Amino acid sequence: MLDFPLWKKISLWTTTLLLAFAALPSLLGAGGLDSAGNLDDLPQVNLGLDLAGGSHLLLEASEDDVAAQRLENIEEAVRLEMRNAEPRIRIGDVSTADGQLSFILDNPGDIDRARGELEPLIAGQGISNEWDLTVVDTQRMVLAPTSAGLETAVDTAMEAAAEVVRTRIDKLGTREPTIIRQGDNRIVVQVPGLEDPKALKELLGETAVLEFKLVDKDALPTNVQAGIAPPGSQIFPFAPESRSPGSLLAVERLEGIRGDNLTDARPGNDPDTNEPVVNITFDSQGATKFAKLSTENVGERFAIILDGQVLSAPEFNEPILGGSAQISGGFTAETAAKLAIQLSSGALPVPLTVVEERSVGAELGADSIRKGLIAMLIGSIAVITLMVATYGRFGVYATVALGFNVLILLGLMAGLNATLTLPGIAGFVLTVGAAVDANVLINERIREERKRGRKVLAAVETGYKEASRAIWDANITNLIAGALLFWFGSGPIRGFAIVLVIGLATTIFTALMLTRMWAAGWLRKTRPADINI
């Protein structure tokens, strides 16, 4: 075990020095110290909210909003299924009162066919039905949401909302946000380095639901401005940045196009007026829908609606067949860029309300770092003094290995783009203790073998061999605990788990490989008759 060929020494030293060098940008703070920018592109360890400061938001969704959206979706799906049935099933007297969808069949004899058409819609994807279907007076069909269906819908909506929030924050250019679910309908958002949450709140608080709906040309302007919507239509106000702020517009409630089929959204400028606009692109399904809508309604007005407000209501001058469109509405360059981020990252499936917000100042984080480093420094000095005084040369090897252990750990965290939190600093201190413990096991075992009368080379070789078993057992146990903390934990707990798991690997590498290589080299070179350990 003490035989180290040249290729093995080169590989160990190369790995050690490369990983130690990878820690330098994090130690030097490359972003602030390198004015030439030579180190700025190198990976660094990101600081968490508790160390770098930043913003903390708690977002909440309403189950009523999810239920209302489901009701609208099922109504549109039912109308489509009835229309596409062969022969067509005609329905009337559609109502969405009391959170239920009810409608009357024109022909009571269609009851069985209608039930068959609706079966796939109410079954959902789980074991339980998402909707309960009942028939009243042999002619009226009623769809009522089930509690299991609503629970599934809320869970799905919150998962999708968390992904949209993550995408939007990533597009802001921030690094390592923490985005986790809390309870059934809440999302915790922590963004290190962003001390003013205003822009973040504005970005995350808007659902960015984009809709294209036909304007109801038969609606009376006086009724519309009075807020009276014709049957089958709904009224939306014009957005403040539009050309008709404060006015109302009646649009057909169904048969429009939602922005779910967008594949891209980019800010730009209108080639004729040079005003800021947002250029959008649909996927194949959305392009087909948009082409059909524009082809069948040439000369008609359609409303571009964002989050319940009309941005503009132009006409279809000609069919739009390319799957691309342009959104205008009195944008500035900043608002156009913001809208592009929201649309390209996807619409929130449900509105999110900020119920809690707080900012963590960078000064508090700097104080935490300072105190953590002081604790780590004091502990390291005490440990190093004890190791050198107790084990002599082998204590020096353990001390040097401890320094490389910390550097390699930082280098690996930087390469993995990991985030260091205050509990992560505690993980660093724990790693120092684990590394020293491994060297203590080795040195004590070597000491025991010498007391038993083994020669120096045999004692060192046996000491490393026998101690390595206990070291592997202890570290594998800690690895399991760290993996479980990472898997089930969140935020700071994960930060601690990351440092712990990586630290276990670096401890094994430095204690069982580096110190053994150094000890073997010295023993082979000097052939001492005895060792002071």
**pLDDT of 520 higher than 70:** yes
pLDDT band at 161 (very low <50, low <70, confident <90, very high): confident
pLDDT band at 212 (very low <50, low <70, confident <90, very high): confident
CATH number reported for the structural domain that contains residue 459 in this entry: 1.20.1640.10
Maximal CA-CA distance, the chain:
107
Percent of the chain with pLDDT over 70: 87
Boundary of a domain, candidates 358, 392, 421: 358
Residue 153 or 171, more confident: 153
Mark whether 421 and 470 lie in a shared domain: yes
Confidence at residue 345, expressed as pLDDT on a 0 to 100 scale: 65
Confidence at residue 280, expressed as pLDDT on a 0 to 100 scale: 79
Q: Is 209 helix (H, G, I), strand (E, B) or coil?
A: coil
Per-residue pLDDT reduced to its tens digit, 336-380: 787 777 677 666 777 788 888 877 666 656 676 677 678 778 877
Mark whether 268 and 123 lie in a shared domain: no
Task: Please report whether residue 220 resides in a domain.
Answer: yes
Mark whether 490 and 420 lie in a shared domain: yes
pLDDT band at 86 (very low <50, low <70, confident <90, very high): confident
Mark whether 289 and 368 lie in a shared domain: no
Task: Please report whether residue 531 resides in a domain.
Answer: no
Mean pLDDT of 325-344: 74
Boundary of a domain, candidates 112, 132, 150: 150
CATH number reported for the structural domain that contains residue 218 in this entry: 3.30.1360.200
Task: Please report whether residue 491 resides in a domain.
Answer: yes
Mark whether 139 and 171 lie in a shared domain: no
Weakest mean pLDDT among 171-180, 274-283, 293-302, 506-515: 171-180
Per-residue pLDDT reduced to its tens digit, 395-414: 999 999 989 998 999 889 88
Mark whether 396 and 354 lie in a shared domain: no
Mark whether 193 and 334 lie in a shared domain: yes
Residue 229 or 508, more confident: 508
Average pLDDT, the chain: 81
Confidence at residue 36, expressed as pLDDT on a 0 to 100 scale: 38
Mark whether 406 and 351 lie in a shared domain: no
Confidence at residue 31, expressed as pLDDT on a 0 to 100 scale: 37
Task: Please report whether residue 183 resides in a domain.
Answer: yes
Confidence at residue 252, expressed as pLDDT on a 0 to 100 scale: 83
Computed from CA positions of residues 292, 293, 297, 298, in that sequence, does the dihedral angle turn out positive or negative? negative
Weakest mean pLDDT among 72-86, 116-130, 438-452: 116-130
Total of domains in the chain: 3
Q: Is 57 helix (H, G, I), strand (E, B) or coil?
A: strand
- Most confident range (mean pLDDT) of 75-89, 251-265, 314-328, 370-384 is 75-89
CATH number reported for the structural domain that contains residue 78 in this entry: 3.90.1070
Task: Please report whether residue 33 resides in a domain.
Answer: yes
Mark whether 321 and 433 lie in a shared domain: no
Mean pLDDT of 460-476: 90
Query: Under a CB-based contact definition with an 8 Å cutoff, are residues 441 and 467 in contact?
Result: yes
Task: Please report whether residue 533 resides in a domain.
Answer: no
Residue 317: enclosing H or E segment and its boundaries?
Answer: none
Provide the token pair at 245: 């702020």
Q: What are phi and psi of 304, to 5 degrees?
A: -100, 110
Mark whether 466 and 488 lie in a shared domain: yes
Task: Please report whether residue 1 resides in a domain.
Answer: no
Mean pLDDT of 98-118: 88
Question: Within 10 Å of residue 416's Cβ, how many Cβ atoms?
Answer: 12
Confidence at residue 365, expressed as pLDDT on a 0 to 100 scale: 61
pLDDT band at 2 (very low <50, low <70, confident <90, very high): low
Boundary of a domain, candidates 323, 342, 358: 358
Angle between helix 147-171 and 198-205 (nearest 10)? 140
| Domain limits for position 74 | 63-150
Mark whether 277 and 291 lie in a shared domain: yes
SS (H, E, C) 169-203: HHHCCCCCCEEEEECCCEEEEEEECCCCCHHHHHH
Query: Torsion over CA of 268, 274, 277 and 279, rounded to 10 degrees?
Result: -50
How would you label 152-176 residue by residue, b for 16+ Cβ within 10 Å and e otherwise?
Answer: bbbeebbeebbebbbebbeeeebeb
Per-residue pLDDT reduced to its tens digit, 18-69: 999 988 887 776 433 333 344 556 677 777 777 777 788 888 888 888 888 8
Whether this prediction's pTM lies above 0.75 is answered by no
Mark whether 226 and 320 lie in a shared domain: yes
Task: Please report whether residue 479 resides in a domain.
Answer: yes
Confidence at residue 44, expressed as pLDDT on a 0 to 100 scale: 76
